[in-house]
Amino acid sequence: MWPRPSRCRTASRAPPAWSVSTARLDTGGTGTLWTDRVRGTGSDVAVLASWTTGPQAGRPAITRRPAGKGSAAYVSTRLGAEGLPGTLAALLDAAGIAAELPAALRGRVGLAIRGNGDEEFWFLVNRTDEPVALAGLDGEPLTGTRAGEPADTGPAHVLGPRGVLVLRRPAAAR
């Protein structure tokens, strides 16, 4: 049983975990190693995913509850790699958080943004061993090419394998 403060935040109760090798979720993802038995969800709790197989089939697997200006979420398993992107996207969307990178680049390219009020500097890091076309990203390359040379001859900048590129862009209204 959870300590009382955690139960209050998530409005869910989970007794000790059940050991499981793999169980499927209705979102298409999987849970591995364990499944907690979620019960007692409140009327304000949204069930984001439920179990379709395993000892908890038919029960909630991932829940989210609004709390003040935020929310609390509970994931009752160790999500497999295919389950993380959708779960994180749902939680970020519910929180009103949007990514700066196009969907095709997320997870493949790391991004850090710094600015001085008038312009932004986008530090892009290719996390893969393959070139990545940065379609949809405008800006003046400051590194990754020799000074005075174009970034490439195509319509988009191309970030080499494990490469880094810094783009100077006008400051965005945030």
For the chain of 174 residues, list the mean pLDDT of each consecutive stretch of 10.
Answer: 47 58 90 83 90 92 91 90 87 88 91 95 94 88 58 66 92 68
CATH topology (fold) of 109-170: Immunoglobulin-like (2.60.40)
User: In the chain, where are the structural domains located?
Assistant: 4-94, 109-170
pLDDT at 148: 42
Please identify, in words, the CATH class of the domain defined by 4-94.
alpha beta
In this structure, the chain runs to a length of 174
pLDDT at 145: 45
pLDDT at 9: 52
pLDDT at 146: 41
Element (H, E) at 164: strand 164-170
CA 131, chain centre distance (Å): 22
Q: Are 118 and 144 in contact (CB under 8 A)?
A: no
């390359």: which residue's tokens?
A: 141
pLDDT at 1: 42
Please state, in angstroms and rounded to a whole number, the distance separating the CA atoms of residues 105 and 120: 19
pLDDT at 143: 80
What are the distances in angstroms from CA 174 to CA 100, 112, 115, 117, 119?
Answer: 11, 15, 12, 11, 12
